[in-house]
Structure 1
Amino acid sequence: MIVKMKFLSISGPRIDIDRVCDVYLSKYEMQLENALTELKTTNNLLPFAEMNPYKEPLTKAEQFTALLPEGSARMDVSMTEQEILDLIRDVNRDYIQLQEQRELQKKKQEILREKLNILEPFLPLELDLYKAMRYKYMKVRFGRISVDYYKRLEKYLFEDLDAVFQEGIRNENYVYGCYFVSNIDASKVDSVFNSLHFERIALSSDYMGTPAQACESLRSDMEETEGEIAKIDERIEELMMRQGSRLLGARKRLEELSNNFDVRKMAARVKEGDAKEDYYILCGWMGEDDVASFLEEIKNDPRVFVVVEEDREKFFGDPPTKLKNPKFFKPFEMFIRMYGLPAHNEMDPTMFVALTYTFIFGAMFGDVGQGLCLFIGGGLLYLIKKINLAGIISVAGIFSTIFGFLFGSVFGFEDVLPALWLRPVEAMTNLPFIGQLNTVFIVAVAFGMGLNILVIIFQIVNAVRNHDTENIWFSNNGVAGLVFYGFLVLTVVLYMTGHKVPGNIMMAIFLGIPILLFLFKEPLTNLVDRNHRKIQEGKGMFLVQGFFELFETMLSYFSNTLSYVRIGAFAVSHAAIMEVVLMLSGAHLGDPNWLGVVVGNAIVCLLEGLIVGIQVLRLEYYEMFSRFYKGSGREFHPFQNHHTEV
């Protein structure tokens, strides 16, 4: 159902806007409209320019509560606004101090890791780093050289170069190590190594012992630093846990205060003449029942003034759409939103979709076992995760189970249960002129005819609500279309059941007159509405256009009706597919492979269930909605979440 909306204008002293939002409006769902835009005829309107003082504390509260383990504390909502702000400030001060200590330890850890990465390639070297850095008559150069140039270096070392190279770690690209050279030959040897692209690596002069010992010392320092970081993290967790209940309550209250303050984005302020005090103005849409409760609550409050404007949509546009359906039908609102929400003067098709979708799904996918699996699996997923599609699957599973009993099918086995109605593959019916035809095909087409008549009636109801003369009386989905299609259905049913069909005169009246109404619907509408508009394209072109539109109308009636054959086709194909699964599993031999039966059922349940679900949705959208539903409404957004929408 669509909640009837009313447009409200709320005003009062400017300084009172927070109290009104907190005490009154927070209890009700109201979609705010921009007062500066809506109240164009009001003079001296100004926007609110204040910054939200609760944004930063709320961000901090969200940051702190995110550090709490889920369910670790109960919410404390007893604090005042000032106590909340003091709490956030104190916790933030302590948190910043701990974070600064943690950052210092992290930087220390990064420095140690960088030193370790530099030193590790020299692990195999057997030399005292502290002494090597302080040799008096000798230089020690640490670095790396590419493998190709290292081969040339070996030649120089063995023949002409007065230096000793000690190799460290070697990989596929580089050889790490150091060379020793006397002070006298240092310049010459350095030049040679530079020419061979030896990359010098600077090591700290503070290392003690061999590279292996120095690396071990660095690792020990890193572990110690990691321990300090863990201790600081524990202190942060203790801080948050100690204040957990109050922080959760503070976050909730700050969210409310921040949302209420953000209402100013949609409000306007006005100052009349020499008045000492500014006034705020809020305007927007609220449900009819909420309006009555709100007015009752503020009737003794002299600082709040409310004006309820009736029929505002006639002058300022359509109200937003708010759907209100029983919990059983609530998940099916997802399909309505996918297509488009109904306008305020349209029918809400949620219940219609829920009933027809699940019924058709069950008819196309009738199996007791698989239906129960869909019902249980979808139901559990909906209860745990609140996924709307899972709720839809669960309800569809109920109808699959019902049709499974009617078809006598359980996990594809058709010799376990008796068919309460018929077996889709076997049931046949003789029809005049057509001959023998599968019974479920006949029933599916008859069901589709009934649905087509029903959606035409829905269209007439919507047209009456919109005062749309053409679609009430003269269109193919109006009264003329109902008479035409209904008479055709009646004639076909009488003929197929062996009864006498209406005579030629009756056919001329009930088929001929609607066709003329289809053809001349535009001038007839103008005549009824007393709109003396002439046909602009000329009479000849009007008749040609009308002929093709008439042909399209006849074709749409035919295609819409035959489209429902897919219901019977899928019922038959499901039984045939399960017969193949059981045959491949050896069930026809009396000794089935139960693993094959289970896997086959799972595959069919998933793949065919998906295909059937899509096909039923196609029937809803293209064969039903196209006849009576536009879905041109805009969704209702209550102001509690409005600041995220603007």
Structure 2
Amino acid sequence: MIVKMKFINISGPRDDIDRVTDLYLSRYEIQLESALSELKTVDNLRPFIELNPYRDVLAQATQFVGYLPNVDDVTPDDSLGLDDMFEVVRKACEDYEGLQAKKEKKKAKIEELRAKQQLLSPFRPLDCDLHKVLGYRYITYRFGRIALESYHKMNKYLMDDLSAIFVEGERDESFVYGAYFVSPGEAQKVDAVFRSLHFERIELKDEFEGTPAFAYQSLERDIARINLEIQDLDKEAGEMLSDRAPQLIAAKNRLEELSKNFDIRKMAARMKDSQDDSYILCGWMAEDDVEKFLEEIKDDDKVFVVVEDDHDAYFGEPPTKLENPKLFKPFEMYIQMYGLPAHNEMDPTIFVAITYSFIFGVMFGDVGQGLLLLIGGALIYHFKKAPLAGIIATAGVFSTIFGFMFGSVFGFEDIIEPLWIRPIDHMTTLPFLGKLNTVFIVAVAFGMFLIIVAMILHIINAARSKDIESTWFDPNGVAGLIFYIAIVVTIVLFMTGNPLPGGIVMGIMFGVPLLLIFLREPLTRMIEKRADKMETGPGMYAVQGFFEMFETLLSYFSNTISFIRIGAFAVSHAAIMEVVLQLAGAESGNPNWFGVIFGNLFVCGFEGLIVGIQVLRLEYYEMFSRFYKGSGRAFDPYTKKKTK
């Protein structure tokens, strides 16, 4: 069902907007419209230009709450006032930033130690005391790296002639790291040779004890110690926030409300003159909520509300809010997929729920598999609230019912007797057509009934919209309904062996409705007394009308025959389960129960999916296309009802 909406204007002193929003509007759902856009006829309107004072504090509170574990298990401390909330967030921010500053210093120290490690790493194979080496007075040393190719040349051609010793450290694909030692007297000559070999010096400071490997491990221990100190700071920060969790969560929740309430100014307008400075809010609210709201503010002399009754002329189409019983609520998903109904359309949710579940049950009639769908869908819907699961559970009820009608339990047809027929076996003889499967005949008849119901719904919707052409002369209007009922009556009389009406009667039954459909445009213009001329001439209109009439007749036929798929799937389901049981050896009396279980699960999932899609296709193409436009816009409340 569609909730009836009212368009309201709310106004009052400018500085009272926060109180009104927090005290009243936060307890109701209202879809706000831009007051500047909607109230174009009001003079002296201007926008609100104010910065949200809660936004920054809310961002900090949200950040801290995001760090908390098991937030849902914490009971917020709702005793705090607004100033207390600001102070809680400010103090938490101060303490947290203090701990973060210490943490950053320690991280910087780690980066410094990592840089020293990186410097020492290539020299770890050197077996020397770095402090002593860096303190040599009578031996000159140089740490660095040399290209691998140059190193080979040095070893082959120069090392024997140099009064120096090169001690190798680590090497990689491109360089050899190490140090050479030489007497001070030979240092200038040896340095020149190494420079010619592109030796790159690496300066080491005298701050290490022991060998390079020992110094490297000492740095690693220092890094591990500082990491533990960082973990302690993180733990301290976590404990600090956990101790204040009730206050922080309460502050975050309340600041969220206040921030959103303050941002309501984006939709509001100011009306300022020499004597008054006030706000104006406007939007859509459910009719029941409007009555409660008016009752609540009747003694508040700072709030003024005007309910607009003639909203169609000034404010466009109301938004659509669906409100259906819990049993049918999941089927709103299919309505939303197609398009929400406009405010003057019928809500087809209940129609879809009943027809979808019924058709699914006929196409997938099996007691055992229906119960599986019912139980599985109900459990998922209970815990996950997934609308599709609710639809599956409801469809499972009808599958179970038609399982009893067809006498099928997990594909076995010898456990219970059918209350009606077995789809795969039962045949009916018809005049002219001969023997046909009974479920095919019933499916087509049922399809005719649904098409008639869809046409009636179209007439109701068109009448609500005061659309004369759609009501009376549309192929789905009164003329189309009379023509289709005449066809149905004629077919039923012929198939049952009863005499048909006389030729004149049949001519009137078929001819007059088709003529009205053919002349729908000029007839509508005449009834509405419109003076505008048709866009096309009489000749082109006749040609266009002929082809449209042919298409209309073809659609009547194709839409009706399309319902034969209901019977086809009922028969195919029984046939597929026969194959499954044959493969599992059920006919021999000693079935492979694993095969029976797996086959049932496969059919339940795979064929159930196909049937679900086919039923949805029938809903959309054979029924919705006849009576439903789905041109509505969703009700999107700016404020949400508080749950207290």
User: What TM bracket, shorter-length normalisation?
Assistant: over 0.9
Equivalent residue runs for 1:215-364 within 5 Å: 215-272=216-273, 274-275=274-275, 277-364=276-363
* Change beyond 3 A, Cα 1:210–1:38: same
Aligned to 2:390: 391
Please give the alpha-carbon distance, in whole angstroms, between the structure 1 residues aligned to 2:154 and 2:406.
88
Give per-residue Cα distances to partners, 1:615-634, cap 9 Å, x unaligned: 22211111111111111111
Structure-1 residue corresponding to 2:87? 86
CA distance in 2, matches of 1:325, 1:299: 31
Alignment partners' CA distance in 1, 2:156 and 2:328: 87
The aligned residue for residue 5 of structure 2 is 5
**Offset from partner CA, 1:543-591 (integer Å, 9 cap, x none):** 0000000001011111111111222222222222233333333333333
Check the 8 A contact 1:133/1:140 in 2, yes or no.
no
Amino acid at match of 1:250: A
Root mean square deviation, CA, Å: 2.4
Q: Distance in 1 between matches of 2:580 and 2:154?
A: 74
In the aligned structure 1, how far is the partner of 2:111 from the partner of 2:596? Answer: 59
What is the identity, as a one-letter code, of the residue corresponding to 2:132? Answer: K
Match of 2:405 in 1: 406
- 2 CA distance for matches of 1:271 and 1:95? 44
Query: In structure 2, do the counterparts of structure 1 residues 265 and 590 end up closer, same or farther at CA, with 3 Å as the change threshold?
Result: same
SS in 1 for 2:208: coil
> 1:380 and 2:382 equivalent?
no
> Which residue does the alignment assign to 1:530?
529
Greater CA deviation, 323-332 or 153-162? Answer: 153-162
Whether the 8 Å CA contact 2:126–2:169 is kept in 1: the answer is yes
Equivalence map 1:568-607=2 (5 Å): 568-607=567-606
8 Å CA contact retained: 1:2, 1:321: yes
Give the secondary structure class of the aligned counterpart of 2:67: coil
Describe the shift of the 1:116–1:392 C-alpha distance in structure 2 as closer, same or farther (beyond 3 A).
farther
Deviation string, structure 1 residues 239-286 (Cα, Å, up to 9, x no partner): 1121111111111111111111111101111123x20x4111111111
Q: In the TM superposition, what whole-angstrom CA distance separates every residue of 1:24-54 from its partner, at most 9, and x where no partner exists?
A: 1111111111111111111111110001111
Question: Is it true that 1:35 corresponds to 2:29 in the alignment?
Answer: no
Corresponding letter in the other structure for 1:283 = C
Q: Could you tell me how far apart the structure 1 residues matched to 2:112 and 2:407 are?
A: 75
SS at match of 1:430: strand
1:95-110 alignment to 2 at 5 Å? 95-110=96-111
Does the 8 Å contact 1:163/1:179 carry over to 2? no
Show CA shifts across 1:278-306 (max 9, x none): 11111111111011011111111111111
The change in CA–CA distance for 1:186 and 1:387 in structure 2 (over 3 A counts) is farther
Residues 553 and 134 of structure 1: CA distance in aligned 2, closer, same or farther (over 3 Å)? farther
Q: What letter is aligned with 1:18?
A: D
What pairs up with 1:488-637 in 2 under 5 angstroms?
488-637=487-636
CA offset digits 1:125-181 (Å, max 9, x no partner): 4333333444442324344756x776656545776666655555556x456531424
In structure 2, the partner of 1:211 is: 212
Is the CA contact (8 Å cut-off) linking 1:65 and 1:248 kept in structure 2? Answer: yes
CA contact (8 A) 2:64 2:241 kept: yes
| Counterpart-to-counterpart distance in 2, 1:633 and 1:596 | 49
Residue 191 of structure 1 aligns to which amino acid in structure 2?
Answer: R
Per-residue CA distance 1:177-199 (angstroms, 9 max, x = gap): 314242344423433542xxx76
1:490 Cα offset (Å)? 1.8
SS at match of 1:366: coil
For 1:375 and 1:114, the matched residues in 2 are separated by: 65
C-alpha distance in 1 between matches for 2:126 and 2:158? 18
Sort the Cα spacing of 1:267 and 1:592 in 2 relative to 1 into closer, same or farther, 3 A.
Answer: same
- 2-side partners of 1:366 and 1:313: how far apart? 48
Q: What is the alpha-carbon distance in structure 1 between the residues aligned to residue 307 and residue 313 of structure 2? A: 15
Structure 1 residues 126, 24: CA separation in 2 closer, same or farther (over 3 Å shift)?
A: same
What is the match of residue 138 of structure 1?
A: 140
Q: Which residue identity lines up with residue 141 of structure 1 in the other structure?
A: F
Contact 1:167 1:175 in 2 (8 A): no
| Percent identical residues | 57
In structure 1, C-alpha distance between the alignment counterparts of 2:19 and 2:165, rounded to whole Å: 85
Matched length: 635
Shift in Å at residue 117 of structure 1?
Answer: 4.9
1:191 equivalenced with 2:192 (yes/no): no
Q: What SS class does the counterpart of residue 639 from structure 2 fall into?
A: helix
Structure-2 change in CA distance of 1:69 and 1:532 (3 Å): same
Distance 1:99 1:520, change over 3 A: same
Deviations 1:200-255 (A, max 9, x none): 66655423223332232222222212211221112111111211111111111111
Question: 2:166–2:181: 8 Å Cα contact kept in structure 1?
Answer: no
The question of whether the paired residues in 1 share the 8 Å contact of 2:146 and 2:197 is answered with no
2:477 aligns with 478
How many Å separate the matches in 2 of 1:199 and 1:604? 75
Change (3 A) 1:180 1:492: same
For 1:118 and 1:413, the matched residues in 2 are separated by 79
Mean Cα deviation higher: 619-628 or 156-165: 156-165
- Structure 1 gap segments, 5+ residues each: none
Question: Quick one: distance in 2 between partners of 1:46 and 1:529?
Answer: 43
- The answer to whether structure 1 residue 444 and structure 2 residue 443 are counterparts is yes
Query: Are the structure 2 counterparts of residues 50 and 534 from structure 1 closer, same or farther at C-alpha, using a change threshold of 3 Å?
Result: same
Contact 1:372 1:401 in 2 (8 A): yes
Q: CA deviation at 1:23?
A: 0.8
Structure-1 separation of matches of 2:114 and 2:382: 49
Change beyond 3 A, Cα 1:524–1:215: same
Q: 3-state DSSP class of the match of 1:415?
A: coil
What residue identity is the alignment partner of 1:103? E
Aligned residue for 1:66, secondary structure, equals helix
What SS does structure 2 have at the residue aligned with 1:216?
Answer: helix
- 1:83 deviation in Å? 1.5
In structure 2, relative to structure 1, the CA distance for the partners of 1:209 and 1:517 (3 Å cut) is same
| Distance in structure 1 (CA, Å) of the matches to 2:179 and 2:226 | 34
Amino acid at match of 2:30: M
- What whole-Å deviation, never above 9, does each CA across 1:352-401 have from its counterpart, x for those lacking one? 11122222222222222332222222222222222222222222222222
Q: How does 1:89-168 map to 2 (within 5 A)?
A: 89-117=90-118, 119-136=120-137, 137-143=139-145, 145=147, 155-156=156-157, 166-168=167-169
Distance change in 2, residues 1:514/1:105 (3 Å): same
Q: What amino acid is the match of 2:572?
A: S
Which letter maps to 2:251?
A
CA distance in 2, matches of 1:37, 1:218: 68
- Contact 2:31/2:284 (8 A) holds in 1: yes
CA distance in structure 2 between the aligned counterparts of 1:193 and 1:365, rounded to whole angstroms:
86
Q: SS at the partner of 1:505?
A: helix
Q: Determine helix, strand or coil for the equivalent of 2:412.
A: coil
Distance 1:163 1:622, change over 3 A: farther
User: For residues 6 and 167 of structure 1, do their structure 2 counterparts lie closer, same or farther at Cα, with a shift above 3 Å needed?
Assistant: same
CA contact (8 A) 1:132 1:140 kept: no
Determine if the alignment matches structure 1 residue 19 to structure 2 residue 23. no
Contact 2:142–2:201 (CA under 8 A) maintained in structure 1 = no
Could you tell me how far 1:599 is from its partner in structure 2? 3.0
Q: 1:236 to 1:357 in 2, by over 3 A?
A: same
TM-score by length of 2: 0.93
- Report the CA distance shift for 1:158/1:144 in structure 2 as closer, same or farther (over 3 A): closer
The one-letter code matched in structure 2 to 1:426 is D
In structure 1, how many angstroms separate the alpha carbons of the residues matched to 2:483 and 2:253? 61
8 Å CA contact 2:28–2:639 kept in 1: the answer is: no
AA aligned opposite 2:239: E
Query: In structure 2, do the counterparts of structure 1 residues 111 and 433 end up closer, same or farther at CA, with 3 Å as the change threshold?
Result: farther
